[in-house]
Amino acid sequence: MTILRVIGIDPGLARMGYGVLEVSGNHLQAIDYGCIETFPEQTTPERLNILFQTLVLVISRHHPDIMAAEELFFYRNTTTAFAVGQARGVAILAGTQSGMQVVGYTPMQVKQAVTGYGKADKQQVQEMVRVLLGLRETPQPDDTADALAVAITHAYNGNLSEFAGVAKVGGSTALDKAVQGLDWGRGASAGSVRSVRSVRPVRSVRSVRPVRPLSYPAGVKPKESKPEK
């Protein structure tokens, strides 16, 4: 059986989430996930350099076969849109320079693949990520869970015959029950590189490869400051 390794990316200048999954048939295993953070007092080139160099380190460690990056959606704030676009470009560059194919998925495609509902809110998506990967806790921050959701989306699209009906409501599987347990009501709630200093090990996943703490790229020093939203 072919084993595919996918890295999912949730792009952002202040926070870029990443998640590496190993896909074997209909089995998903989280290998590594985290969030690269930068801070507003750093210049934009410095922040992009941190994102690029750190992502290259993650890629060189896990050797994913393909990168799945979330597509940009409509932003009212053009400054935010430009910043996210620059960060996404850096991620794509890191992937292509590593020889990977890079694919993109819209937020609606991600929600549809992970929950079976294209208008699901963040909490519903994050809960399904936890269930699908067999994690005890939802990966934090949100950017990390979102990156894993993008990776799961590609796993589904690349293995449609294996995953057909997995997220369908009404069956008897544990996943079906989890979907049924979600609140689908109208009122459903919707610098330094923090995770590079201590990449969160994956708990409750079988045969997880040990992850060594990443080192800072040359010349990059952490700045203890609260990251922008």
10 burial level (CB within 10 Å; 0-12, 13-18, 19+): buried
Containing H/E element for 29? strand 27-37
- Please report, for the chain, the start and end positions of each structural domain, with discontinuous segments joined by +: 3-197
Confidence of residue 224 (pLDDT cuts 50, 70, 90): very low
CB 227 within 8 A of CB 37: yes
Taking domain 3-197, whether its CATH number is 3.10.180.10 is answered by no
Per residue in 186-212, pLDDT (tens digit) is 333 323 333 332 233 332 223 333 333
Is 65 noted as a catalytic residue in this protein? no
Amino acid 109 reads Q
Q: What is the mean pLDDT of residues 7-12?
A: 97
- Which of these is catalytic: 22, 37, 127, 143? 143
| Residue of 12, 6, 144 lying closest to 73 (CA atoms) | 12
**Catalytic residue, candidates 22, 32, 37, 70:** 70
- Answer whether 0.85 is exceeded by the pTM: no
Q: Which of 10, 32, 37, 127 is catalytic?
A: 10
Q: Does residue 183 carry a catalytic annotation?
A: no
Establish whether 143 is a catalytic residue: yes
The contacts of residue 175 (CB under 8 Å, 6+ apart) are 131, 132, 166, 167
Provide the 10 A C-beta neighbour count for residue 149: 30
